[in-house]
């Protein structure tokens, strides 16, 4: 009553007040009564993970940490203090009954506060000196792992590449990156931290069984989560370091490379030009552009970035074996993708910084041109006039138009751009040897298509900013005019009989010597009168100066009767009279 009066501030005379008084007494008794004994376990979920892929079922094997405490807060046991999880099957009476029930339904990384009554713990007997009889036990439990003896490898593919021409099979060699974690997310290993892929054969026992199974069927570029029970991982003992015994393992894997030791090169994505008159053979010299990448698309090299083709002999061991093979049978202008396994490329060692060991290489190749050192100029007559009774020969002075290009069609030069012909003397080394060949035995008005190999063109050096080194040249030519040259070895000939008084006719001042001016005036007069002819295509005064020098045998600047001779009088051939 005093309590009620303190609470209400009123007396207790009426029946209604007596009822309120009795209610307060009940409440007061409840506040001061001893705790009601637990009939069953009590579970408080103190942390629940966002995702729960799997919950514990009877028969599962679990690994968990716990702190065991009495209701007064006194600790009686802890897995943390022992430095190892508690590992056990659930529902097989390997635990106290209350813990067997409390673990069911838990998720990895879930945390529970479990209160277990004595009859579901150690009962009236207690447990030695550790747990007194009839003790209520509290356990703070953190679940780290769960698996079942019937579990196999679980695969979750979360990225599939758009194209997959090949999948991992038994005995394939693969390169992949991975992050390895325990089921609770604890990282135990990563190839990324070592900045190096893991490289191995698949399906022949080089890997733990779960990984051997988990990699099968993967495509290059695919990403998957591979989860395996300890029986397919490191088993009861773990790895002795970062992986505890009986631990499930989770590998986040991305496949970067795949080949088989039996592989040869693969040629795909071929784009062959409509006109292909010739295909490359062993011993040819090829000029090509390329982009080089790894199988996962990682770029490592390009001829385009250097703005220069890669030039090499094929089939002769000058390039890696796979490229040597892949460049055989190509056409000029062809594009192809050549995939080369490492044993035909840079092998187990790679090249260091750009190409890792055991890497498959992919080359996208564009063939610019090729030739053989034994090639001659290829001449195709496009048009020949009906009446062709006079053909070019060595020494003739010819005038022609041309369009010049590389084999890939890149224009080099054209006389049409200048509005005038190109004029040369055949056989005088005024053009490349291939053009000399192409202009021989040609009629005025004739048109030809010439393909000139570099050893008959501009060679290995080419022409700076115009013709690349070792380039095959293409000329479309048309002979516009020609002037017949002199016989070989002659720079001047007579068109009629030579005067018996030749020296006297030259010696205008009759001083018994012929001066340079007298000699020049006389020869030019003969040419103008049609009595003689100088070699066409050359500077006439330079020819005459040369003729004078040949006659001036002592080099004193004048010709005497004793020095003066006709060519017919010479024992050896000279460019003189």
Torsion angle of alpha carbons 185, 189, 190, 196, nearest 10°?
Answer: -170
Catalytic residue among 4, 64, 139, 458: 139
Contact 64, 143 (CB under 8 A): yes
* 139 has catalytic annotation: yes
Q: Count Cβ atoms below 10 Å from residue 71 Cβ, excluding itself.
A: 11
Phi, psi of 263 (to 5 degrees): -65, 145
Which member of 76, 300, 503, 522 is catalytic? 76
Selection from 133, 314, 159, 271 nearest residue 225 by Cα:
159
CA torsion 437-438-439-442 (nearest 10°) is: 110
Q: Is 370 a catalytic residue?
A: no
Give the residue among 110, 207, 93, 223 at the shortest CA–CA distance from 161: 223
Active-site pick, 122, 370, 548, 564: 122
| Three-state DSSP class for residue 549 | helix
DSSP letters spanning 414-481: EGGGTTS-EEEETTSS-S-HHHHHHHTT--TT-EEEEEE-GGGTTTTT-BTTTB-TT--EEEEEEEEE
Q: Kindly name the residue from 21, 43, 69, 77 that is annotated as catalytic.
A: 77
Please say if 96 is a catalytic residue: yes
Q: Which of 4, 61, 96, 243 is catalytic?
A: 96
Among 244, 221, 220, 216, smallest CA distance to 153 is for: 216
Picking from 423, 433, 440, 443, the residue whose alpha carbon sits closest to that of residue 536 is 423
Closest of 473, 340, 444 to residue 384, by C-alpha: 444
Q: Look up 66 and say whether it is catalytic.
A: yes
Residue with structure tokens 């004994």?
37
Q: Distance between CA atoms of 359 and 204, rounded to whole angstroms?
A: 20
Active-site annotation holder among 61, 66, 178, 288: 66
Other beta carbons less than 10 A from residue 266's beta carbon: 17
Q: How far is CA 172 from CA 93, 162, 201, 217, in A?
A: 46, 22, 6, 11
Residue 495 DSSP label: S
Q: Within 13 Å of residue 246, how many CA atoms lie on the same side as its CB?
A: 17
Q: What is the CA radius of gyration of the chain?
A: 50
Quick check: 575 and 550 in contact, CB under 8 A? yes
Give per-residue burial for 152-184: e unless 16+ CB within 10 Å, then b.
ebbbeeeeeeeeeebebeeebbbbbbbbbbbbb
Contacts of 290 (CB under 8 A, 6+ apart): 301, 302, 303, 310, 363, 364, 365, 366
Residues carrying an active site annotation: 66, 76-77, 96, 122, 139
């Amino acid at each position: 009553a005093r309590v009620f009066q303190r609470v209400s501030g009123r007396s207790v005379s009426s029946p209604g007040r007596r009822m309120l008084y009795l209610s307060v007494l009940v409440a007061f008794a409840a506040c001061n009564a001893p705790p009601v004994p637990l009939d069953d376990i009590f579970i408080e979920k103190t942390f629940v993970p966002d995702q729960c892929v799997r919950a514990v079922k009877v028969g599962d094997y679990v690994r968990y940490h716990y702190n065991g405490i009495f209701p007064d807060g006194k600790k009686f046991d802890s897995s943390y203090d022992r430095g190892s999880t508690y590992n056990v099957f659930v529902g097989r009476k390997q635990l106290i009954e209350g813990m067997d029930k409390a673990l069911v339904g838990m998720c990895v990384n879930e945390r529970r506060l479990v209160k277990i009554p004595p009859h579901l713990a150690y009962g009236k007997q207690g447990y030695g000196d550790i747990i007194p009889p009839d003790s209520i036990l509290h356990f703070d439990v953190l679940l780290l792992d769960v698996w079942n003896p019937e579990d196999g490898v679980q695969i979750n593919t979360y990225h599939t590449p758009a194209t997959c021409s090949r999948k991992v099979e038994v005995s394939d060699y693969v390169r992949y990156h991975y992050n390895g974690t325990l089921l609770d997310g604890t990282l135990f290993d990563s190839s990324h931290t070592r900045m190096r892929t893991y490289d191995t054969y698949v399906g022949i026992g080089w890997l733990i069984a779960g990984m051997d199974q988990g990699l099968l069927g993967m495509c290059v570029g695919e990403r998957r989560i591979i989860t395996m029970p300890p029986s397919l991982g490191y088993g009861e003992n773990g790895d002795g370091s970062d992986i505890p015994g009986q631990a499930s393992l989770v590998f986040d894997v991305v496949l970067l490379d795949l080949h088989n030791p039996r592989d040869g090169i693969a040629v795909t994505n071929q784009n062959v030009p409509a006109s292909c008159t010739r295909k490359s053979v062993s011993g040819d010299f090829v000029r090509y552009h390329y982009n080089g990448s790894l199988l996962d698309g990682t770029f490592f090299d390009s001829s385009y970035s250097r703005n220069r083709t890669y030039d090499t002999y094929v089939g002769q061991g000058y390039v890696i074996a796979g490229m040597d093979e892949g460049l055989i049978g190509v056409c000029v202008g062809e594009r192809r993708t050549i995939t080369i396994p490492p044993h035909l490329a840079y092998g187990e060692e790679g090249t260091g910084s750009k190409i890792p060991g055991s890497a498959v290489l992919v080359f996208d190749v564009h063939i610019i041109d090729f030739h053989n050192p034994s090639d001659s100029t290829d001449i195709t007559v496009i048009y020949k006039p009906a009446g062709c009774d006079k053909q070019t020969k060595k020494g003739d002075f010819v005038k022609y138009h041309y369009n010049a290009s590389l084999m890939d069609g890149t224009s080099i030069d054209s006389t049409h751009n200048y509005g005038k012909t190109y004029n040369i003397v055949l056989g005088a080394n005024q053009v490349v040897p291939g053009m000399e060949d192409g202009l021989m035995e040609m009629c005025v008005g004739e048109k030809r298509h010439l393909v000139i190999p570099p050893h008959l063109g501009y060679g290995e050096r080419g022409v700076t900013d115009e013709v690349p080194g070792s380039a095959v040249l293409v000329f479309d030519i048309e002979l516009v005019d020609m002037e017949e040259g002199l016989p070989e070895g002659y720079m001047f000939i007579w068109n009629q009989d030579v005067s018996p008084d030749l020296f006297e006719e030259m010696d205008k001042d009759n001083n018994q010597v012929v001066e340079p001016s007298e000699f020049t005036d006389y020869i030019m007069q003969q040419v103008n009168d049609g009595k003689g002819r100088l070699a066409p295509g050359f500077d006439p005064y330079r020819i005459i100066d040369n003729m004078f020098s040949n006659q001036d045998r002592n080099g004193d600047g004048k010709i005497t009767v004793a020095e003066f001779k006709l060519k017919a009088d010479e024992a050896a051939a000279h460019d003189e009279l």
